[in-house]
């Protein structure tokens, strides 16, 4: 398998979510910032590596509205998200520099040319001195609120074509927030039945003949790119949003085209009374966590949170850096819950407990039933990240107040779009106050084209999950039985399996993610380097994807991670749709490389 260092994963994908780091050495070099690897990076995981298109747009904005020699910019989809960055940066620099950080926002310059109402905000930029770039990057990485590469691509073209102009007033605007639904020139071009007819020559010819008069303009170029490139119609964004929200609510899971899916209303949701009105979309999974935390602070006041179990790193950073802080229980053990209960009995109060089910990368399941009992008794909310488990395998919503998930992962599968969701439990203690807060504060900042991709990609997610569940069990067991392997971390084999089983759905499996460790770093390196699959960050892809997780996620805090059982040599594998026998053969070849090291 040819893998180009720094190339997109999947290959030849303009908006790829992952990046190829095919060897252990390449991953170390990436973390060390060695030029031979950083200069090769064509893309990266979007919250850690700002897409080249977005970088280009930021340069263009600073050239027009800033001082290129000394300033740079970071880009957000709304004034509110830009102001969040603005406030965070001011809180971490001296007051003498506060006025050097400013927000400039952009709206269409002409409604008829750009296709948007001139009141629609498309982009907000925080312009700041370059020496504060590391602070701005924290906001981008932790909150997940930055613009998507597709929004950046559209705004860059619009700015250069004169369709996008600076909005003179922004931070104090009292106008209602507007959701950007895509260029108006696409709205109404096709009915909803137009989506999915990818091979309809008649349909293409009809559209082609109706736009011949625009052949030498931007309209024609974008038309050709969409019809014969991505082949998507942005006018369907509203319907796509509805379909995605219904699918997440559990009303729609069938593998059907969008127009059929919207007519299909049979079946029950994940809990009685749950509807798409309880589902909120976000531009990334981390954005759904960040905003859930913000909504709880707005609803319940400034209280500390609890982070229970070893989390994905940015989840912990959100709780530590925004609000009053958090109490961290990295082991996620029964003893940790005993300690928490003692604190609660002594009168300590908390905003919410945040946990993952199961956790990443050790796939350990927390005692969610006991957590729910404590929450009911001592008045705190429960937020569960179900990304790894996935709601077709597990149903944690009855024990949570908010369930968050990264739609970037198995829900999409294609690794070409970011997205996230937050689902409110309609029977939760805080449901009504949270609904009021979301109604007041929530912004749908998912770019129109991104939500169309999410909808299309997720139509067959149920059948994909079933196949991935079956294959992963076989592969994980193969490794578990190998004398070359030290440990396999997988929900089915973990001591916490009974806690997982309590929430596993009737036909659910154990997911597509597991981690494996070896008896030495040299053996882990040999296994990883020899494994013939895609190598890079992310998980839940339709193709098998592996990474040296601890190295990538915790390189600057290895001793701290190890104190919670996260070994440096841990290799994480996300199983895809390959044939079971083929993937097992690749695993066997990688194990042979481990044997060679030992020999």
- Beta strands 402-406 and 420-424 are antiparallel
pLDDT at position 455, please? Answer: 94
**Size (the chain), residues:** 599
CA angle 440, 446, 452 (to 5 degrees): 135
DSSP assignment, residue 189? S
pLDDT at position 194, please? Answer: 28
H or E stretch including 405?
A: strand 402-406
- Would you state the structure tokens that stand for residue 24, as one six-digit string? 């252990």
pLDDT at position 117, please? Answer: 64
pLDDT at position 22, please? Answer: 96
Q: What is the CATH number of domain 462-598?
A: 3.90.1150.10
Q: Name the one residue in this structure whose structure tokens are 């597709």.
A: 150
305 bridge partner residues: 326
Distance in angstroms (rounded) separating the CA atoms of residues 534 and 275: 37
Of 13, 9, 25, the residue nearest 548 (C-alpha): 25
DSSP assignment, residue 408? T
How many CB atoms sit inside 10 A of residue 9's CB? 25
Residue 405 to residues 146, 291, 445: CA-CA distances in angstroms? 18, 12, 16
Domain boundary assignment for the chain: 45-166, 278-448, 462-598
Q: Kindly tell me the burial class for residue 402, based on how many C-beta atoms sit within 10 Å of its own C-beta (0-12, 13-18, 19 or more).
A: buried
Identify the CATH assignment for 278-448 out of 3.30.300.30, 3.40.640.10, 3.40.50.10490, 3.90.1280.10: 3.40.640.10
Q: What is the chain's alpha carbon radius of gyration, rounded to the nearest angstrom? A: 24
pTM of the model: 0.87
Of 410, 409, 408, the residue nearest 419 (C-alpha): 408
> pLDDT tens for residues 94-112?
999 999 999 999 998 875 3
- Would you state the structure tokens that stand for residue 61, as one six-digit string? 């904005």
CB 408 within 8 A of CB 47: no
Distance in angstroms (rounded) separating the CA atoms of residues 2 and 486: 29
How many CB atoms sit inside 10 A of residue 317's CB? 19
Angular region, 113: left φ>0, alpha ψ -120 to 50, beta rest = alpha
Angular region, 169: left φ>0, alpha ψ -120 to 50, beta rest = beta
pLDDT at position 598, please? Answer: 84
Q: Dmax of the chain from CA atoms?
A: 75
Residue 482 to residues 172, 473, 486, 595: CA-CA distances in angstroms? 63, 15, 9, 11
Distance in angstroms (rounded) separating the CA atoms of residues 139 and 261: 37
DSSP 351-366: SEEEEESS-TTT-PPP
Q: Is the peptide bond before 358 cis (omega within 30 degrees of 0)?
A: yes
Instruction: Report the sign of the C-alpha dihedral through residues 28, 30, 33, 39, in that order.
Output: positive
pLDDT at position 270, please? Answer: 73
CA angle 348, 353, 356 (to 5 degrees): 155
Distance in angstroms (rounded) separating the CA atoms of residues 275 and 269: 7
Main-chain phi, psi angles of 265, to 5 degrees: -120, 5
3-state secondary structure 303-372: CCEEEECCCCHHHHHHHHHCCCCEEEECCCCHHHHHHHHHHHHCCCCCCEEEEECCCCCCCCCCCHHHHH
CA angle 360, 45, 40 (to 5 degrees): 130
> Which residues does 123 contact at the CB level (< 8 Å), separation at least 6?
75, 76, 77, 105, 106, 147, 151, 155, 164
> pLDDT tens for residues 312-360?
889 999 999 999 999 999 999 999 999 999 999 999 999 999 999 999 9
Distance in angstroms (rounded) separating the CA atoms of residues 481 and 255: 36
- Would you state the structure tokens that stand for residue 418, as one six-digit string? 């970011």
CB 428 within 8 A of CB 397: no
Q: Kindly tell me the burial class for residue 487, based on how many C-beta atoms sit within 10 Å of its own C-beta (0-12, 13-18, 19 or more).
A: middle
H or E stretch including 513?
A: strand 513-517
Mean pLDDT by 10 residues, the chain (599 residues): 86 95 97 94 93 97 96 97 97 95 91 56 96 97 97 94 79 41 34 28 29 37 39 73 92 42 44 92 98 98 97 94 96 98 98 97 98 98 97 95 97 97 96 97 96 94 96 98 97 97 95 97 97 97 97 95 96 98 97 91
562 Cα distance to chain centroid: 25
């Amino acid at each position: 398998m040819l893998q180009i260092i720094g190339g997109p994963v999947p290959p030849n994908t303009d908006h790829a979510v992952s990046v190829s780091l095919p060897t252990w050495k390449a991953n170390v070099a990436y973390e060390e910032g060695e030029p031979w690897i950083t200069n090769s990076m064509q893309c990266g995981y979007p919250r850690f590596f700002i897409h080249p298109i977005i970088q280009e747009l930021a340069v263009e904005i600073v050239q027009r509205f800033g001082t290129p020699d000394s300033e740079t910019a970071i880009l957000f989809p709304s004034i509110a998200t830009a102001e969040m960055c603005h406030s965070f940066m001011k809180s971490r620099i001296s007051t003498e520099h506060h006025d050097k950080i400013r927000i400039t926002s952009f709206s269409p310059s002409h409604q008829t040319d750009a296709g948007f109402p001139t009141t629609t905000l498309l982009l907000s930029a925080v312009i700041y001195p370059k020496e504060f770039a590391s602070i701005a990057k924290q906001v981008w990485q932790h909150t997940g609120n930055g613009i998507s590469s597709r929004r950046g691509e559209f705004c860059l073209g619009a700015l250069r074509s004169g369709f996008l102009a600076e909005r003179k007033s922004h931070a104090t605007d009292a106008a209602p927030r507007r959701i950007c639904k895509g260029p108006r020139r696409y709205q109404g071009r096709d009915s909803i039945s137009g989506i999915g007819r990818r091979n309809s020559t008649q349909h293409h010819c009809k559209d082609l003949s109706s736009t011949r008069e625009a052949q030498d303009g931007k309209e024609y170029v974008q038309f050709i790119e969409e019809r014969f490139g991505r082949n998507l119609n942005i006018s369907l964004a509203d319907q796509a949003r509805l379909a995605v929200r219904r699918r997440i609510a559990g009303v729609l899971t069938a593998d059907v085209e969008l127009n059929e899916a919207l007519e299909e209303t049979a079946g029950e949701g994940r809990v009685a009374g749950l509807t798409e009105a309880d589902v909120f979309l976000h531009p990334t999974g981390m954005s759904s966590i960040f905003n859930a935390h913000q909504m709880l602070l707005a609803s319940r006041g400034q209280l500390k949170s609890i982070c229970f179990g070893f989390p994905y790193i940015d989840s912990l950073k959100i709780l530590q850096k925004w609000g009053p802080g958090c109490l961290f229980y990295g082991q996620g053990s029964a003893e940790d819950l005993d300690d928490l209960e003692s604190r609660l009995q002594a009168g300590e109060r908390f905003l919410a407990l945040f946990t993952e089910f199961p956790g990443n990368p050790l796939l350990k399941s927390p005692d969610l039933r006991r957590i729910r009992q404590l929450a009911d008794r001592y008045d705190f909310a429960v937020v569960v990240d179900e990304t790894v488990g996935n709601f077709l395998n597990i149903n944690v919503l009855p024990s949570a107040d908010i369930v968050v998930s990264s739609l970037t992962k198995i829900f999409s599968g294609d690794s070409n779009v970011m997205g996230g969701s937050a689902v409110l439990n309609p029977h939760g203690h805080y449901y009504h106050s949270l609904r009021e807060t979301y109604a007041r504060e929530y912004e749908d900042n998912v770019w129109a084209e991104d939500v169309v991709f999410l909808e299309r990609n997720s139509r067959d997610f149920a059948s994909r999950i079933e196949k991935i569940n079956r294959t992963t069990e076989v592969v994980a067991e193969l490794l578990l039985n190998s004398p070359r392997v030290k440990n396999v971390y997988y929900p089915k084999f973990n001591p916490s399996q009974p806690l997982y089983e309590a929430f596993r759905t009737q036909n659910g499996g154990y997911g597509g993610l597991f981690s494996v460790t070896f008896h030495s770093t040299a053996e882990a390196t040999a296994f990883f380097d020899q494994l013939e699959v895609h190598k890079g960050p992310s998980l839940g892809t339709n193709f098998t994807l592996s990474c040296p997780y601890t190295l990538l996620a915790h390189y600057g805090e290895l001793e701290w991670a190890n104190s919670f059982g996260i070994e440096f040599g841990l290799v994480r594998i996300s199983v895809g749709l390959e044939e079971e026998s083929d993937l097992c053969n690749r695993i066997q070849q990688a194990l042979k490389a481990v044997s060679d090291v030992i020999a």
